[in-house]
Structures are given as C-alpha cells and as structure tokens.
C-alpha cells in the first residue's frame, strides 16, 4: 500500500510545537516575534496565500502585520516600505509575496530585504550560506520537503534523490539540502536527456517544475518516495481543479509514499515560514 504523506497533519504538529517554543521565547526575552507580509496588487492566489500565512502566524503566537499596496505601485514606493520594515525593531521577519506586478523588480526587492529578516531565505547572503551548509534561514518549501522526507524515511544517507526543476526557489535549494543529508543528488531540467530514465533511478523523486501531471507512473521506481511540489490549476469537465506536477493516480500505484495536491507540500511551506520567523527573532534578540 502506498503511504500518503499528510502535509496538513505534519504542519499542524510543527505549528503546535512552534507555539510552545514561541511562548518560551517570549517569556525569556519579553519580545513577541513580528512578521510583516507585503502584498502588491489583487492576484487571487496571492491573497489566499497571504491570508493563510497571517492565520498561521497568529496561531504560532506572533504579531503579524499586512501591508497591501495597489497594483500600480512603483519600485520606489515598494522599496521605501521594505526599508521602513528593515529598520523597525518590532519586525523580525519580512515576506514580500511573489510574484510581483510586471513593473516591479523581484531581484531588487529580494536584495533589499535585510538578510537577517529574510524569512523566505531568498537573499543572496542566505543563498550563499545554504550552499556552504550553514544557513539559518532556509527557503521554506525545500525545508518543508525535508521534514516530510525525514519523517517518512528517517536517515536519508546514500539514497539517490532526483530533483525535477532547477528554480532558485525550490529546485536548487532542495538539491543542496538533500546533498547535506548525504543523498546522491541529480537535478534534471529542460535540457536534460532521457529524463524518464533518470527519474526511474530515484529512491526520492522531488517534482518542482510547474507542469501539470508531467511525472507519469512509468517514470517512477517501485517503492520510491515522491514529493510533489507543483500546484497547477487545470480545467476538467467545465470545472477548475488543482493538480500537481505528478500524475497522482498513476504514480500512487507505484510509489512507496507520495504527497497529495493539495494538502501535501503547501501547508508545510507556511509552517516553515513560521519556523524561520522565530529563528530570525532569536538571532536578532540573541535568546
């Protein structure tokens, strides 16, 4: 029987423990961790993500503030807000919801956020620390994937992990974390040859490419653990539904364990954002 890796259940446990740790931190420091979330424009998916992040921040015991800016916001206005949050001692974590409207530069904003408040883990300084193996603020989705993998498999040493996708947000940091866990790591991407054969070698297969149901059952080694990072909206029978990068029905017949979409990686990403916020507060307060 294929094991379903329940991201909702694991994330709820993580947030519950985080609330305990937060209460202890507040008791020791008399400081409540503060998370500032910035949303530019009216993208419906981004609004849902922000709402969920604020809800989880409250559940963890943080002070959470939302900063909503109109779609036509200019770079100077957004930069000024980020600079203001950088200098606010009550704000320990800053998250600018991506993607941004076309007129705004995402790389510029990522570089502008103070590295010690970069709870997404995207600042070049934090990316470098991850590559060196000593990062404190780790990109949230890969961190969440690692928690699920360790809870499912225990020690990952020696396992062959294949990561499908090489994005800065998921693919590259995921590969770095798997390497630190002593996996043998392969990254496949749009220029890779014979992707199916490479995927079939994987003990751990992480799909993070943004293509609906790209990974088929025939691509998966029997008994492999499959982590589906993708979340894609597709039309089917006149209805809109969410699917991953993995053809779930096919792959679940082959895999030893698999994450669903929705309810797999997504909740873990938000839980790990909260973990990063507490880590950032601890570093800034030195408790």
Q: Which residues are annotated as a binding site for NADP(+)?
A: 165-167, 231
Residue 206's alpha-carbon distances to 63, 110, 120, 130, 273, in angstroms, are 34, 25, 20, 19, 20
Whole-angstrom distance, CA of residue 230 vs CA of residue 208: 5
Annotated binding site: 165-167, 231
Closest C-alpha to 241, from 226, 230, 231: 231
Structure tokens at 220: 């998966």
Is residue 53 flagged as an active site residue?
A: yes
Helices 7-29 and 140-153 pack at an angle, to 10 degrees, of 110
Please pick, among 56, 97, 117, 118, the residue that the annotation labels catalytic. 97
Is residue 284 flagged as an active site residue?
A: no
Helices 124-132 and 171-180 pack at an angle, to 10 degrees, of 30
Q: Pairing mode, if any, of strands 93-96 and 34-40?
A: parallel
What is the helix (H) or strand (E) element at residue 25, kind and residue range?
helix 7-29
Please pick, among 53, 172, 221, 275, the residue that the annotation labels catalytic. 53
What's CA 245's distance to the chain center, in Å? 15
Closest C-alpha to 208, from 232, 238, 224: 232
Is residue 120 flagged as an active site residue?
A: yes
Please pick, among 117, 118, 120, 275, the residue that the annotation labels catalytic. 120
Q: Which residues are catalytic?
A: 53, 97, 120
């Amino acid at each position: 029987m294929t094991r379903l890796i329940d991201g909702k259940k694991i994330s709820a446990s993580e947030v519950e423990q985080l609330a305990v740790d937060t209460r202890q931190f507040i008791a020791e420091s008399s400081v409540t961790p503060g998370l500032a979330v910035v949303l530019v424009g009216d993208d419906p998916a981004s609004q849902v993500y922000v709402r969920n992040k604020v809800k989880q921040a409250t559940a963890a015991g943080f002070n959470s503030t939302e900063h909503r800016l109109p779609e036509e916001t200019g770079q100077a206005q957004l930069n000024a807000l980020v600079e203001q949050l950088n200098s606010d001692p009550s704000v320990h974590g800053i998250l600018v919801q991506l993607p941004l409207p076309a007129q705004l530069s995402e790389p510029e904003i990522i570089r502008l956020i103070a590295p010690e408040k970069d709870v997404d883990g995207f600042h070049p300084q934090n990316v470098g620390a991850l590559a060196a193996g000593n990062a404190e603020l780790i990109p949230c989705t890969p961190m969440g994937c690692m928690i699920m993998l360790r809870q499912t498999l225990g020690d990952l040493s020696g396992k062959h992990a294949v990561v499908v996708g090489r994005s800065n947000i998921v693919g590259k940091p995921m590969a770095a974390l798997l390497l630190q866990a002593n996996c043998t790591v392969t990254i496949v991407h749009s220029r890779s040859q014979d992707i199916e054969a490479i995927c079939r070698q994987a003990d751990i297969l992480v799909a993070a490419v943004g293509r609906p149901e790209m990974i088929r059952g025939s691509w998966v080694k029997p008994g492999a653990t499959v982590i589906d990072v993708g979340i894609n909206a597709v039309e089917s029978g006149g209805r809109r539904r969410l699917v991953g990068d993995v053809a779930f029905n096919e792959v679940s017949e082959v895999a030893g364990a698999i994450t669903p979409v929705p309810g797999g990686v997504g909740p873990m990403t938000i839980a790990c954002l909260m973990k990063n916020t507490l880590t950032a507060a601890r570093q800034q307060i030195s408790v």
